[in-house]
Amino acid sequence: EWLPPYWTPDKATQMVKNTTGAGNSFLGGLCAGLYLARDNVFRAARYGSVSALFIIQQAGLPLLDISETGEEYWNR
């Protein structure tokens, strides 16, 4: 399956903040994607890309907040 290259002008509102763990996150997402997408490598790579995206757009470790009602919120 051929995926054409994608380019867009530099209009990003967020910049990369921290790449620590992006490779590990990509690999974890890829493995989960291979399982969920039934060995479709292209779909699995999308899972990996999205996983890495969450890592590179935050500074430092993820934060977990628990509200008074017991609900969990990540990075709020």
Q: Would you say residue 68 lies in a domain?
A: yes
User: pTM for the complete prediction?
Assistant: 0.59
CA distance 76 to 66: 10
With 0-12 CB in 10 A as exposed, 13-18 as middle and 19+ as buried, what is 22? Answer: middle
pLDDT value of residue 4: 80
Q: Would you say residue 17 lies in a domain?
A: no
Q: Would you say residue 14 lies in a domain?
A: no
Q: Would you say residue 4 lies in a domain?
A: no
Q: Would you say residue 16 lies in a domain?
A: no
The domain containing residue 45 runs over which residues? 22-74
pLDDT value of residue 34: 95
| Domain count across the chain | 1
Q: Would you say residue 53 lies in a domain?
A: yes
58 φψ region: left (φ > 0), alpha (ψ -120 to 50), beta (else)? beta
Which residues partner with 72 through β-bridges? 66
pLDDT tens digits for range 22-64: 899 999 999 999 999 998 999 999 999 999 988 887 666 667 7
